[in-house]
């Protein structure tokens, strides 16, 4: 039951983030609200990176978190960024549905914290939308 609820919540926030990524104009993907902040694309590369990190953690790996984002060079276009974000959400959802044991409290806590992380970035991305008159 817990597994199903987490998979649903994960899919919900993933759908919201992916929808913003798809709708945001490609020519504005590198806009930043003010100096010193991430661009819209940087926000998405960051989200996809940490989703991939979570996936590795759920699989018992010890991923390196120091990059903090997917490399810009490998994910420079809107199409590549959107694909990476979509795949990162889909892969984690699939792992939750197929590999998570119900009642695994440590995993529940980890997934809930990542849902919160993604919700925070969704809020930031929504502000980028507003700043662009969308």
Of 46, 28, 51, residue with least CA distance to 132: 28
Does pLDDT of 1 surpass 80? no
Does pLDDT of 103 surpass 80? no
Question: Using CA atoms, how far apart are residues 56 and 78, in angstroms rounded to an integer?
Answer: 25
**Predicted pLDDT at 101:** 75
Q: Tens digits of per-residue pLDDT, 3-45?
A: 899 999 999 999 999 999 999 999 999 999 999 999 999 999 9
Q: Are residues 69 and 46 in contact, defined by beta-carbon separation less than 8 angstroms?
A: yes
| Total-model pTM | 0.95
**Predicted pLDDT at 87:** 98
Does pLDDT of 84 surpass 90? yes
């Amino acid at each position: 039951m817990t597994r199903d609820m987490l998979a649903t919540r994960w899919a919900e926030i993933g759908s919201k983030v992916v929808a913003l990524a798809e709708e945001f104009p490609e020519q504005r993907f590198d806009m930043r609200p003010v100096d010193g902040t991430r661009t819209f694309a940087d926000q998405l590369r960051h989200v996809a990176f940490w989703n991939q990190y979570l996936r590795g953690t759920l699989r018992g790996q010890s991923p390196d978190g120091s990059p903090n984002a997917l490399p810009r060079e490998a994910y420079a276009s809107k199409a590549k960024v959107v694909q990476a974000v979509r795949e990162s959400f889909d892969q984690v959802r699939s792992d939750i549905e197929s590999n998570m044991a119900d009642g695994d409290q440590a995993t529940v806590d980890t997934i809930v914290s990542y849902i919160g992380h993604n919700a925070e970035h969704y809020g930031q991305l929504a502000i980028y939308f507003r700043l662009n008159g969308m």
